Amino acid sequence: MKHDSRAMLAALAVCILLGSAGPASADSPYRPYSSTLFVTSNFRLSFQRQWSTDTVAPGAPGEAGTVSPVLLPLSVSSFRSVGDPLMPRRVAAGVPDLDEPHRRALEGNLLELLRGYEQLLDQRDEQRLKNNLAGAFLFLFRSAYCVLKDGQELSGEQQESLLQQINASIAMGLKDRRLSDKEKQELYESVVLSGTIIRGLYSEGSTEQLKAARDLAKELMEQWMGLTIEKVRLDGNTVRMG
């Protein structure tokens, strides 16, 4: 995993701002959103306190059969695309007080955010995170953490620790709440879009946009990940929850 996160996020900011209509425009993607536009299912991550980056054999004493996240392949949270992006049109349709031309323009800008994310994965040789829910949730968490911690970023090692935990949480969640590939694609696009929008609002930097970024980050961390920022602790190279 290439861990130059600042460079990647800076490049992403450039990509998503190019061609944007600007923060004051009716079709800019950087606006306040209701979190309900992105939460398309009741799927929610659940982090286990006993998880660590140490390899633990299944059934070891005290583990109650829980498999360490490092033992799970990233493919458990991957999916097959069902075709063209689904969420840009749905999100744009849910934004109030837009006429049809501005709604179509907003849809196009949201589509560019998705394309920019995946193009940067290609540029950073991170194809393993394309069509992967764990990678999308990692991106959302990084955006929310940066916004809620006044610009702080996770190190590469901390990102890898969190990616493993998210991947394990998704694997557990899919046992209880099966999702079709279409539902996984909707969730993936929603998470990527919201993470990009949170980062973009924060980068724009107006008082209104900073508030919108923080509000959306807090709401989605709680609704999708069951977390508040106060529950997140950095322990060396490990990210711990709760």
Pairwise CA distance, residues 85 & 192, whole Å: 12
Listed in order, strand segments (DSSP E) in the chain are 232-235, 238-241
In a domain, 132, yes or no: yes
Q: HEC profile for 159-225?
A: HHHHHHHHHHHHHHHHHHCCCCHHHHHHHHHHHHHHHHHHHHHHHHCCHHHHHHHHHHHHHHHHHHH
Examine residue 160 and state whether it is found in any structural domain, yes or no: yes
How many domains would you assign to the chain?
1
Query: Is residue 176 situated within a structural domain?
Result: yes
Residue 57 lies in a domain: no
Q: pLDDT tens across 2-61, in order?
A: 545 555 555 555 555 444 434 447 788 999 999 999 998 889 998 765 444 444 444 444
| 53 occurs within a structural domain | no
End-to-end Cα separation, the chain, in angstroms: 26
* pLDDT, tens digit (0-9, with 9 covering 90-100), for 52-111: 444 444 444 444 445 566 678 999 999 999 999 999 999 999 999 999 999 999 999 999
Question: What is the domain extent for residue 91?
Answer: 5-48+68-241
What is the pTM (predicted TM-score) of this model? 0.86
